[in-house]
Amino acid sequence: MTKFKDYIMKRLDSYKIFILLSFVSQLLFSLIFTVNLLYHVNVAKLNPLQLILIGTILEASVFLFEIPTGIVADTKSRKLSIVIGYILIGISFIIEGFFPFFYTIALSQVFWGIGYTFTSGATQAWITDEIGEEKAGSAFIKGAQAGQAGELIAIPISVVVGLIAINLPIIFGGILMIILAMFLTIAMQEHGFKPKSKEEISNLGSMIKTVKTIRLYIKGNHILILLLVIGIFYGLYSEGFDRLWTAHFVEDFKSSIITEFNPIMFIGVIRAVLMILSIIALGILNKKLNFKKSNHVISVLIISTIVIIIALAGFSIFKNLYIVIAFFWTIGIMRSLIGPLLDSWLNSLITNPNIRATVFSLRGQVDAIGQIGGGPIVGVFGKLFSIKIALLVSAIILSPVIIIYCIIIKNSKKLNSIKESSEIS
């Protein structure tokens, strides 16, 4: 075991481990998610409201555990937090794959939510500690690209295995998540993080101190507050889309070309094309965007959000399958850009490295708040009216984000003008 560890550490530095982790984790998630929603619709027979409710249970778990697990990463170990997270995520999918019932799937979401919170924030904080803040922005984009590549590779595997039994990719994905966690215990290095001493930690006292530090830190940073509000709106809209897009294709286009294919193959093909397009888009973004200029980042975020709103409305309204698929791809590409951009922007706003993981976790928590609030609302519209109406409501919910971005740009210009005036004087 020691020789294997030495062999790995000689060949894989922290940057390569981050890219590899991004690739493998997304490969496994894609292995699962290619069939996951079809499994919920066709095997577990969940209705639109139940589909939303299991998402709400997931996000409620995230909401309750984001800050405590973020504090674990900030006070104990980023590596330990990440390893625990993937073990719990693996357990969740094993439960889900073996037991196709609403209540067991709901239980699996609790394990998944807690596991996710252990990785959320800790992963971004870990790589920033190891390679430095200046290189982290590019690493987030490269990691996203690697993740898209992993998703692309997993799709045909998931389709082939899913044709044997639709739950097998979910079970295999869960088992491999646990194996990934075991690999990380050996391969991950943690040189940049300095854990607190026993005197500093004192568990509850340390948590309270960290929470107070974060509260004061956020209170004095108006842009960070607005960024967290944006996170709530992204959560409000995304739960409806994430849980209902597959059902929209399967239920609303029964008489179309989908009937000529196995639904697993159809979903696999459109997701594979989306991954290819997203990889290309992320590559262009990494080459063209100056991450050091926040206004450039915000501009891309605004454009991406506007495009999502228009495409999601079109996705819900249009009846031509080919146009709807094009809208689906557009939404997916824009979402693939927004994730790493928000990570990079938030990272640049955090000047205190001791609370980095917890602040990232806080962003995850506000996203969970949005999904908890928005999911049931969209689900009720889907239950009472139709999935199309529910998706249209999701597009409307996202609209206020544009106004918030404009406020941030206005505030940024004011701050820049004040700084320039003080420099002149």
Q: Kindly report, residue by residue over 38-95, the tens digit of the pLDDT.
A: 898 888 888 877 887 887 888 788 777 766 666 666 677 788 889 999 999 999 999 9
Q: What region does 203 belong to: left with phi over 0, alpha with psi -120 to 50, or beta?
A: left
- Give residue 33's pLDDT: 86
Tally of residues, the chain? 425
Report the CATH fold assignment for 2-188+201-424. Growth Hormone; Chain: A; (1.20.1250)
- In tens, the pLDDT along 223-267 reads 777 878 888 888 888 878 887 888 788 777 765 655 556 777 888
Alpha carbon distance 75, 415 (integer Å): 33
Q: Quick check: 342 pLDDT over 90? A: no
Q: SS3 for 284?
A: helix
401 or 352, which is more confident: 401
Instruction: Determine contact, residues 357/120, Cβ cutoff 8 Å.
Output: no
Which residues neighbour 145 within 8 Å (Cβ) at sequence distance 6 or greater?
A: 279, 282, 283, 286
If one counts every other C-beta atom within 10 angstroms of the C-beta of residue 393, the result is 20
Token pair recorded at residue 392? 């249209």
- Give residue 333's pLDDT: 92
Alpha carbon distance 265, 250 (integer Å): 12
Residue 165 phi/psi, 5-degree rounding, is: -160, 125
Which position has the token pair 């898209």?
148
Q: SS3 for 115?
A: helix
**pTM as predicted:** 0.68
Instruction: Determine contact, residues 175/94, Cβ cutoff 8 Å.
Output: yes
Burial class (CB in 10 A: 0-12, 13-18, 19+), 62: buried
- Give residue 204's pLDDT: 47
Domain residue spans in the chain? 2-188+201-424
Instruction: Determine contact, residues 40/54, Cβ cutoff 8 Å.
Output: yes
CA 344 to each of CA 63, 144, 289: distance values in angstroms, whole numbers, following the listed order: 22, 12, 12
CA 299 to each of CA 153, 296, 303, 313, 343: distance values in angstroms, whole numbers, following the listed order: 32, 5, 6, 22, 15
Token pair recorded at residue 105? 């799937």
Q: Which helix (H) or strand (E) holds 349?
A: helix 321-349
Instruction: Determine contact, residues 88/108, Cβ cutoff 8 Å.
Output: no
- Give residue 362's pLDDT: 72
